[in-house]
Structure 1
Amino acid sequence: MASSGQAGTSRTASCAVGSPSGAVPPGGALVPYGRAARQDAVLARLRSEPAYAADCFTVWSAHPHAGETWSTTRTALLEEVLRPAVRALSPEQLTAVEEAASHTGSSRTAEAFRSWHRSGGGLRRRLGSRIAARVRRA
């Protein structure tokens, strides 16, 4: 286990929400894993521990081609769990998550986090741009 840098707290290297081994569970256990990630304690930890948020990003963005079940689960975790938590962070906390991501993975992990965070809501962002363009033309 690695220390998160805060006295009295520790983190696993893989965002182990309900997984004693610290690993993402195999296919059949993904539904309970997704439910566990939505618990209030996990959501609070995502907002209060930058290293934990970075760990979750690293794990939840890994293996995008590991199969439909994991792809669906990871997308939901990133968009429905992590993105709202990250949006609530202050600029200082966001910087701390980026720094933790570079320590958790690599500089590529930190850049992937920045890119993911900047991408906003994907479809929502594109629809918003289209609506704004139509309003401007009218």
Structure 2
Amino acid sequence: MSDARTAVLAFIDDVWGPTPALSDDDDLFDVLGITGDDAGDFMQAFVDRFEVDATTWRWYFHHGEEGWSIGGLFYTPIHRRFGRIPITPAVLAEAVRSRRWPIVYPDHTLPARRWDIVINQTLAATSLIGLAAWAWWRFAA
């Protein structure tokens, strides 16, 4: 077992807790159930611990967003627009060895506007305005 792989496995145990035996090709986020903010925190801890240049990291190729999105019923969320690329112990070990993010992403274009988020924000604002109107009508009128 290489020093980089040993360091990666020790890091996973430190950050995520005891894990089952992992092979080099296991999809860590799938096996460990890491997604959303937890995935971002995991990767930030990895980058900080091993001083990896992750400026080319693109989260939406690797995991979904936090929570459930009503807007996602009408417009495809960004993480579902592109093919999923697994994060494996081998990928992390390569990042440790080279000190840079090793994945080269396919050509892609991000949408100019996240309509799924716009819908969520509109629904939230409408709900708050409705609640405020009801409270005013019920208690102030």
In the superposition, the TM-score normalised over structure 2's length comes to 0.29
| Structure number with bigger Rg | 2
The structure, 1 or 2, with the larger RCO (C-alpha pairs under 8 Å, 6+ apart) is 2
Higher helix share: 1
